[in-house]
Amino acid sequence: MSNSAAVNIDKSQTDILNYGDWVRVLGTFAVVLTHCMDFMLYNQNVYSESRMEWWVANTVDAATRWAVPVYIMLSGAILLAPTKKDETIKTFYKKRLARVGLPLLFWVPFFIIFALYVTTWQTPSQLIDQLLYGEPYGHLHFVVRILGLYAITPMLRVFIAHANREMLLWTIILTLGMGAINSTIDAFTGSHLSAAVRFVPFIGFYLVGYYLRDFHLQPKHKFLTIFAFLLSLATTVVVTGILVPKYGLQWYPSIPFICYDFLSLPRIIMGISAWLLLTHYCRNLNQPKWLSSIAGATFGIYLIHPLFKDFAVLKGYWLPSHGLLPNFFIFYIGVYVASAVSILLVLKIPFLKKLVG
């Protein structure tokens, strides 16, 4: 990208407000779909009885894997903005802890109790390990990661203020490159980062959001970006489909799901391509009245949706087995609607709304 794409502060703030709500809402649709589809993707019965259904699950699941990287990029686009450079560290930390810290203090024990006494899918020792890995319950890894990124944001602002575009680009390439190498190693070793440094590989995505926040995708580059997204999707689907018969259904980090890891090369390409396409198509969309309400509830929807998802499966309201793929989307819509309605109600209660950001 040339220096002609340098930041225009006034314009960037308008653009972020314009596409930001759409990105949040669409990202939440995708991430809830991902977590629901995991029940099909990692289900041995589905894989054994109907490879066709499993391949559909593999394709749909892979196609939504841009959501978390895009969330990280949106945070970087907003919080690393030049207009924020005069904000004191104390003020920044106070705001961010109110936004993420209090919800984390509530939802971590909530889901630990839920896992121990409701689903009973994990033992106490397994939960302790997950807590040390920064993943006290599957989806909460995102909150731990974003909290780490918030912690170093004031320092990154200083770096950005003194770095030119070329240095910033090479920093992004270096951080994402090292993340991709680490992702590959983790797949073969099954290793995990601890909660203390779980955010580090995501610094690259965080900087990409700032770097590309004012970038307007030109028509001649649009189809190349679409091709990059589809190629990364096809790579993820095909490689996974080839490796699973040999290594089995293993949760990542693992060899069969090497492309599903957050920092795999296909997923890096997918995340950046999705960001460019979303900001391109959402930048000038209308802002209906319902959009800001749902956008304001997205963090809460993310936090609460596993409660409805896992409870529904636990109680047998939906069973991830062969022949039920058509009913899966009813299950998904039900989980999303229940999550959205409950959070919109919680946001009307002054004290409780602090627990959902």
pLDDT (tens digit per residue) in 182-212: 999 999 998 888 989 999 999 999 999 999 9
For residue 114, give the nearest of 130, 95, 127 by alpha carbon.
127
pLDDT for the residue numbered 322: 61
Q: Which residue has the tokens 């409870």?
A: 311
pLDDT for the residue numbered 56: 92
| C-alpha–C-alpha distance, residues 40 and 145, integer Å | 26
Are 113 and 187 spatial neighbours (Cβ–Cβ below 8 Å)?
A: no
- Please count the other Cβ atoms lying within 10 Å of the Cβ belonging to residue 103: 20
212 CB contacts (<8 Å, ≥6 apart)? 1, 73, 77, 272, 275, 276, 279
108 pLDDT band (50/70/90 cuts)?
very high
Helix (H) or strand (E) holding 73, with range, is: helix 67-79
Q: 27: which 2 tokens?
A: 């990202």
- Domain residue ranges of the chain, discontinuous segments joined by +: 3-356
- Residues 167-197, buried b or exposed e (16+ Cβ, 10 A)? ebeebbeebbeebbebbbebbeeeeebebee
pLDDT for the residue numbered 219: 85
Between vectors from CA 123 to CA 322 and to CA 328, what angle results, nearest 5°? 20
pLDDT for the residue numbered 268: 97
pLDDT for the residue numbered 11: 38
Mean pLDDT of 3-25: 58
pLDDT for the residue numbered 323: 66
Kindly tell me if the per-residue pLDDT of 156 is higher than 90.
yes
